[in-house]
Chains A and B, each alone.
Chain A
Amino acid sequence: MLRLPDFDYYAPSTAEEAVRVAADHGPDAAYVAGGTDLYPNMKRRQQTPAVVVGLSRISALREITGEASSGLRIGAGVTLTRLAEDERVRAAYPSVAYAASTISTPLLRNMGTIGGNLLLDTRCNYYDQTYEWRKSIDFCMKRDGEICWVAPSSPKCWAVNSSDEAPLMVALDAKLRFVSPEGEREIPARELYGADGINYLTKRPDELLLDVCLPPANGWRAAYVKLRRRASFDFPVLGVAARVKTAADGTVEEATVVLGAVHPSPRIIEEAGAVLVGRKLTDEAIREAGEIAQHLARPLDNTDFLPHWRKQVVATHVGRALAGLR
């Protein structure tokens, strides 16, 4: 059996208490919301916090507040099921609800939260394995080892960001609100993700995600397209988030194309967005944007399917995302 390692468990009922406990234990503490990312990792000894701070009793984290016209605020503890079904989210941010509905399975969505998905640990073929499996290859640099098996000459870790909501939040320019003993601070989604599979977040470990603030829902549209082997369970092997703002005649004024599940962080492909500006979303413009994104995508041997093939399908999926916004 895969059992959890020994740890001390706290279940505070307010964010202030949670932050205080985490701060008291420094890097030995981990927050847990739905547990669908942390607990499997703990069972495989990828993460072994001595103190776990459960957030499920903090009702303040489960609220969705605000109006679409001024921006909706989604509590970090809102489950993915609720995010996918919430009427306000579905009406004003259909891509956000859709992306949530594609995450793993219905039961995992009943447990997993938007906060957990946005802060998901990076994943890799050589990392998401049991302790014994990892030991047999002398581990990897993300945990217990020295080398990156994805790119053995690389000085950095190439684990991949497999969140479905992260590329969308980057495309939408959402803001995340964190709290720590030093007070609150806001980090734009675009500045949250680091370029390294180990230091994949720019937030400090003791900072607790309170909520995500979506921008006002008028004047732009967004889409998300996900590629994976099975229509359930699987993490994306490619996620494309696209956001466009068009003039009344359909001319693109702003465009953002973000690739997920390809690099250690969701990556904005600036050139693909730029090539669309000033044009309508014609087949030709969409094809060009897709080809640029494909050229710049660097999938590696860190998740399902061959990296070569994952690169070949980027243009098609960028195209599907953009065609949905016509």
Chain B
Amino acid sequence: MSAPVPLTHITRARNGRPAKRRAQFTVNGEPVDVLFAPHKTLLEVLREDLNLTGTKHGCELGECGACAVLVDGEPVLACLVLGLDAEGRDVTTVEGMADGPALHPIQEAFAQYGAAQCGYCTPSFMLTAQVLLEKNPSPSRDEIREALSSSICRCTGYVKIYEAVELAAARMRGEEADILEEAIYGR
């Protein structure tokens, strides 16, 4: 018989439920050390154990995109990642976008354009846009559309979201850019 496999240790509590397990990872640059049931998703750990409710639960089946977070810089769906698989990883949520009191240019542009109505999908759009602009500072409208096609918005439609990303992109390239005149309500 081969040697025992060095696996992550599993124990059962007295009631037969799996004992809580521990994971250590970073969230928005801060190290966290959490205990939770092994079947919890990263979404549930973030919201329920770390009280970071910026990440939303939508369909929880990968069909809406609301729970997008960055794991090691890549956008993924937190509802389909186990909390245990975050071990040792670097997780970024929407709470990690702003720099202290200063909003991220994408957040600023979303606010100016009214690119959020109910706001439920907004964290996922902003985080995926952030990754897009890091890789491609001057994306075309089609490239933005493709990069953001993981998230569904049921309020605004998508035009203001795309315009906000384009505005943020211009500002992040150092250009003097402002909201389109015709997009300002009441003028």
Contacts and interface: CB of A to CB of B under 8 A. Distances in A.
Interface stretch (A99-107, A172-180, A216-224): A99-107
B76 A3 contact: no
A6 B21 CA distance: 13
Interface residues of B, number: 37
Given A43-B60, A111-B76, A106 B150 contact: yes
B85 A56 contact: yes
Given A5-B39, A54-B85, A232 B8 contact: no
A70 to B, nearest CB: 32
Query: Chain B interface secondary structure, helix, strand, loop or mixed?
Result: loop
B82 interface: yes
B74 A231 contact: no
Contact of B17 (A6, A20, A54): A6
A56 B60 CA distance: 20
Contacts of B44: 1, 3
A10 interface: yes
Contacts of B76: 107, 110-111
B31 interface: no
A108 interface: yes
Given A9-B39, A107-B68, A108-B150, A20 B2 contact: yes
A259 interface: no
A131 interface: no
Contacts of B122: none
B13 to A, nearest CB: 11
- Most chain-B CB neighbours within 10 Å: which of A56, A106, A108? A106
Interface stretch (A33-41, A90-98, A248-256): A33-41
Nearest to B149: A232
A108 B61 CA distance: 11
A323 interface: no
Contacts of A105: 65, 149-150
B18 interface: yes
A35 B80 contact: yes
Interface string B1-39: 010010110100000011000000000000000000111
A20 B2 CA distance: 10
Interface string A132-163: 00000000000000000000000000000000
Contact of A20 (B5, B8, B81, B152): B5
Query: Chain A interface secondary structure, helix, strand, loop or mixed?
Result: loop
B130 interface: no
B91 to A, nearest CB: 14
Nearest to B43: A1
Contacts of B82: 9, 35, 54
A133 B38 CA distance: 27
A71 to B, nearest CB: 29
Contact of B149 (A21, A36, A231): A231
A104 B146 CA distance: 12
B93 interface: no
B77 A111 contact: yes
Contact of A9 (B8, B17, B81, B128): B8
B153 interface: no
A106 B75 contact: yes
A247 interface: no
B61 A107 contact: no
A232 B10 contact: no
A8 interface: yes
A227 to B, nearest CB: 17
A11 B85 contact: yes
Interface of B: 2, 5, 7-8, 10, 17-18, 37-41, 44, 57, 60-63, 65, 68, 74-77, 79-82, 84-85, 87, 128, 146-147, 149-150, 152
Given A2-B60, A11-B7, A106-B75, 16 more contacts: A1-B57, A2-B61, A3-B40, A7-B39, A9-B8, A9-B38, A10-B8, A12-B5, A12-B7, A36-B62, A39-B79, A39-B80, A40-B62, A107-B68, A108-B77, A232-B149
10 contacts: A4-B39, A5-B39, A9-B38, A9-B39, A17-B5, A35-B82, A54-B84, A54-B85, A104-B62, A107-B76
